[in-house]
Structure 1
Amino acid sequence: MKPILAACLALFYTTATHAQSIAPREGWVVIGTDKPHATLLADLKAAVKAKKMGVVTQAGPTGAAKARGITIPQNRIVGVFNNDFAVKILAHSTAAMIEAPIRFYVTEDPDGTATLSYKTPSFVFAPYLQEAGPDLDALAKDLDSRFTAIANAATN
């Protein structure tokens, strides 16, 4: 009986993962909300559109994990950018475009609320400033303002 019990416990711990909150870290903005994950995600998408940016990519392991019998907290990565910024950034650094789109991360917290996190564009583009110069820095700061506005609209 003991090997069966051990196997069952091992299966339980590999198929149920507990949500963890995103901790603040250098270059990141982390905003906790009272909203459930689905609401914050919808509000983020609406804010992106309202601020004249576009949702370029979306990814999240929750659905695929569920199909495999694994329960994990809701989370979604949402890549945001627009062509105007892409063209302007390319004029200064081809290498910097590897960072586009810049991502927002919507995560479900242990209490059922959701958190919105993102790396600031100026942090993301910082490694390219030496080659690209102050024009890329200005574009990154403009993106910082837009991402702040999107985050504020989505989380309020």
Structure 2
Amino acid sequence: MKALWAIACLLVTPAWADEPLSGWAVFQTDKSYEELVTDTKAAVKDNGLIVVTQAGPTKAAAARGITIPGNLVIGAFNNDYAVRVLETSTAAMIEAPIRFYVTENNDGTATLSYKTPSFVFAPYVYEGGKTLTDIASELDTKFQDVAETAVK
């Protein structure tokens, strides 16, 4: 019985692999990885946010002689949002900065994705209430604008 379940899961998994994860926004592009990284950082700034963090394994792997596709997480936020979120929920600030994820595809193009701020802050609404929900909605719009600017 377990073997049949495992086989059924393997057969279904590829169909799920093409679907975005719940709470994620995904933008396929024709841009190269390097171009999309540059454009995402510029779009963050152009839309009133700040690149707070950057992390990815690609360069460190290359330094070890390992080649992997481009992969970078870009954390974006600003102090205005930080102060406003803290006024509603101290615990919610663990989620800041909210991250964009740039990944290189096998065909040389790149994808920009992120968890929507509403999804990220949803677990804290019990504490932050409607005010936190409103901030997350503002950030949803801001992150959508960043993504649309970056992928143009």
TM-score (norm 2): 0.87
Q: Post-superposition, which runs of at least 4 consecutive aligned residues in structure 1 deviate over 3 A?
A: none
Q: How many residues align?
A: 136
Which 5+ residue runs of structure 1 have no aligned equivalent?
Answer: 1-20
Q: Deviations over 1:93-141 (max 9, x none)?
A: 0000000000000000000000000000000000000111000000000
1: CA distance between counterparts of 2:36 and 2:139?
A: 21
- Residue number among 101, 105, 125 corresponding to 2:101 in the alignment: 105
Q: Residue 45 of structure 2 corresponds to which residue in structure 1? A: 49
CA–CA distance in structure 2, aligned partners of residues 131 and 56 of structure 1: 25
Structure-1 residue corresponding to 2:14: none
Give, in angstroms, the shift of residue 22 of structure 1.
Answer: 7.9
Are 1:66 and 2:62 matched, yes or no?
yes
C-alpha change, 1:22 and 1:79, in structure 2 (3 Å) is farther
Q: Which has a greater percent of helix? A: 2
Unaligned runs of 5+ in 2: 1-16
When residues 104 and 84 of structure 1 are mapped into structure 2, their CA distance, relative to the original with a 3 A threshold, is same
Q: What residue in structure 2 maps to residue 7 of structure 1? A: none
- For 1:15-30, what aligned pairs fall within 5 Å after superposition? 24-30=20-26
Measured after TM superposition, the shift of residue 69 of structure 1 is 1.3
Counterpart CA distance in 2 for 1:37 and 1:22 is: 20
Pairwise CA RMSD of aligned residues? 1.2
Structure number, greater radius of gyration: 1
1:89 aligns with 2:78: no
The answer to whether 1:35 aligns with 2:31 is yes
1:154 pairs with 2:137:
no
Q: CA deviation at 1:23?
A: 5.0
Residue 13 of structure 2 is matched in structure 1 by none
Q: Which TM-score applies when normalising by structure 1?
A: 0.85
Letter in structure 2 aligned against 1:146: K
